[in-house]
Amino acid sequence: MDQAPPKLRLDKWLWQARFFKTRSIAAREVSAGHVRVNGDKTDKPARAVSPGDVLTFAQARRVRVVRIEALGDRRGPAPEAQTLYTDLSPLQDNSPENPGFEGKGRPTKRDRRSLDLSRRQTLE
């Protein structure tokens, strides 16, 4: 007898692989059509996935592309969850999100006073 490959619900796998905090959030993202399985849009959280499938979805301002390597038995710790997939996402550039920020932090009271003084002088 030929045995069928093991399958798991898409929302459950996304939750077990720790891409979403709760299974209901994963199901909502899939239902909204924000997840692609092997390049095809899907809106069914119960869609069966198996090892070898490629998932594409947005997560935190980033597009994630992952290949399923294994199906988990439980939602374990992060190192265990990382063994369930291979990340195929394109590398992101390391430019800062706010290019005007120089990393100096909040100005001190003395700095604010001198800034206010220089602004008052330019208005006069």
**pLDDT score of 84:** 96
pTM: 0.72
**pLDDT score of 94:** 59
Residue 100 to residues 95, 96, 103, Cα–Cα distance (Å):
11, 9, 9
Give the pair of three-digit tokens for residue 94: 């390391």
Q: Work out how many domains the chain is built from and give that number.
A: 1
Greatest CA span in the chain, whole angstroms?
91
The answer as to whether 17 is a domain residue is yes
The answer as to whether 38 is a domain residue is yes
Q: What is the CATH number of the domain that holds 12?
A: 3.10.290.10
Are 47 and 83 a contacting pair, CB within 8 Å? no
**pLDDT score of 122:** 73
**pLDDT score of 4:** 75
The answer as to whether 31 is a domain residue is yes
What digits encode the pLDDT tens for the residues 62-119? Answer: 899 999 999 999 999 999 999 999 999 887 665 555 555 566 778 888 888 888 888 8
CB within 8 Å of 78: residues ≥ 6 apart = 18
The answer as to whether 67 is a domain residue is yes
The answer as to whether 76 is a domain residue is yes
The answer as to whether 85 is a domain residue is yes
Give the pair of three-digit tokens for residue 62: 């980033």
**pLDDT score of 114:** 87
**pLDDT score of 86:** 96
Tell me the sheet residues that pair with 9. Answer: 48
What digits encode the pLDDT tens for the residues 6-52? Answer: 899 999 999 999 999 999 999 999 999 999 999 999 999 999 999 99
Q: Which domain holds residue 79?
A: 1-91
